[in-house]
Amino acid sequence: MRVKAFVCGLAAALAVPAMAAAAPVLMISIDGLRPADVLDADQRGLKLPNLRKLAAEGMYATGVRNALPTVTYPNHTTLMTGVWPAKHGIAGNTTFDPLGQNLGGWYWYASDIKVPTLWDAAHQAGKKTASVYWPVSVGDASIDYDIPELWRAHVAEDAKLLKAVSTPGLVDQLEAATGLKLVQMTEELPQNNEARTTFTEALIKAKKPAFTTLHLAALDHAQHGFGPDTPQSKAVLEQLDAMVGRLVATARAAEPGIVIAVVSDHGFAPVQHSVNLEQAFVDAGLMSADDKTHRITSWEAAPWGGASAAIVLAKPDDPALKARVEGVLAKLAANPDNGVARVADAGEIARMGGTPQASFWVDFKPGYQAGGRPGGPMLGSAGERGTHGYFPEHPEMRATFILAGPGVPKKGAIGEIDMRDIAPTVAKVLQVQLPSADGKPLF
């Protein structure tokens, strides 16, 4: 039996050759790209020749099961580390801040990542790294050429802050090479993603990094505003496809052996209803709010999130507090008008790899999300047309993975994959070590 197993394993290894040599990698994240948008583009009335060509050239997942919660920053960090948020430390988009003291601040800073990243692995192997607007990359010393994702006020002044935290001299060099200004890439409209693409082209031409990452978020922005599968969102995706085609052509001209990875962080679902969790917690005496400003002034337990919401306890080891919160959540879930799909406890959260800060986690049915503020109605209309952030078990939340290049040994569909397998796969293409990853290479 052992001989037979060895022969079968040897045959399989010979049938799928390993990477012959290290290859440079360009990883492009299209925020909110659903796998079927590419794989079923014709049926959906989408013209995506460049993304479809990459899928036809290489290997692609029919779906990527992603991190809890299915939002941008935790999943982009899983893409870079191969571990879930419980290990890498990026628990959501925004930091837990029930009193609003961080003024809506996000997890922008690389110092919050608790495990090695692909940038670390490549840099330690002596390879040059580059990144344009990738989440959680501010202050990352392992990125040789970095323009991180960062904003504060969504005004032109943000460009000054972004330049201050970018690699010294890099912005001036790329502005001179492209004729563009940094401020042109700091929002999430297609023209801003066009500017990011142009900056990345110039960066690849000038520096020829071994590992480059780029985040394009215009599709996510459109799907929030107009909803998925709308003419507006489809038009934005077609524009992004053209940007990908141009960037891939530039990268292949600069480095003929380059491998292209197209990834996304999450899918999307239409949303109509908003459930005011904060008001429910105020009514239960678990939070207090100012009657005039409606700002939270104190809390014993607080929700954190949108389409699914982590519930954080000030004293998680207090059994009486835990029982009170459990009762409030059970009451919410018992009313079908609230659209609660289920409530996970700490054990379930740990099994899903979510942050240990949460003692409970409320998952809503697609179409519902947490929203509103103290003093407002318990149920209302959602302030957007599409959303994400539900538990990863919802098929609507599946993300995208495509890998194409001359050294990629597998071709065609590889089925549904675990997002933690993407970072080890890219590490294998780069031929660098990422032993802290929980995933495994896909070939």
pTM of the model: 0.95
pLDDT at 3: 34
421 in any annotated domain: yes
405 in any annotated domain: yes
Residue 403's SS3 state is: strand
Q: Which phi and psi (to 5°) does residue 63 adopt?
A: -175, 150
Same domain, 217 and 281: no
Same domain, 347 and 256: no
Residue 296's SS3 state is: strand
Q: How many CA atoms lie within 13 A of 397 on its CB side?
A: 26
The list of the chain residues with pLDDT below 50 reads: 1-16
**Contacts within 8 Å (CB) and 24+ apart, 339-342:** 339/273, 339/275, 339/364, 339/365, 339/367, 339/368, 340/275, 340/364, 340/365, 340/368, 341/365, 341/390, 341/391, 342/391
pLDDT at 407: 82
What CATH number is given to the structural domain containing 238? 3.40.720.10
388 in any annotated domain: no
Same domain, 219 and 297: no
Domain, as residue range, for 358: 273-383
Same domain, 261 and 123: yes
Same domain, 58 and 206: yes
Same domain, 96 and 51: yes
pLDDT at 16: 43
Contact 238, 193 (CB under 8 A): no
Instruction: Render pLDDT for 265-306 as a digit per residue (tens, 0 to 9).
Output: 999 999 999 999 999 999 999 999 998 999 999 999 999 999
6 in any annotated domain: no
Same domain, 203 and 293: no
pLDDT at 13: 39
Same domain, 307 and 369: yes
Sheet holding 379-381, edge to edge: 368-370, 273-275, 379-381
Same domain, 115 and 139: yes
Closest CA to 193 of 268, 244, 151, 148: 244
pLDDT at 410: 83
CA 206 to chain centre: 28
390 in any annotated domain: no
4 in any annotated domain: no
What CATH number is given to the structural domain containing 317? 3.30.1360
441 in any annotated domain: no
Same domain, 226 and 259: yes
Same domain, 352 and 242: no
Q: How many domains does the chain have?
A: 2
Same domain, 344 and 257: no
95 in any annotated domain: yes
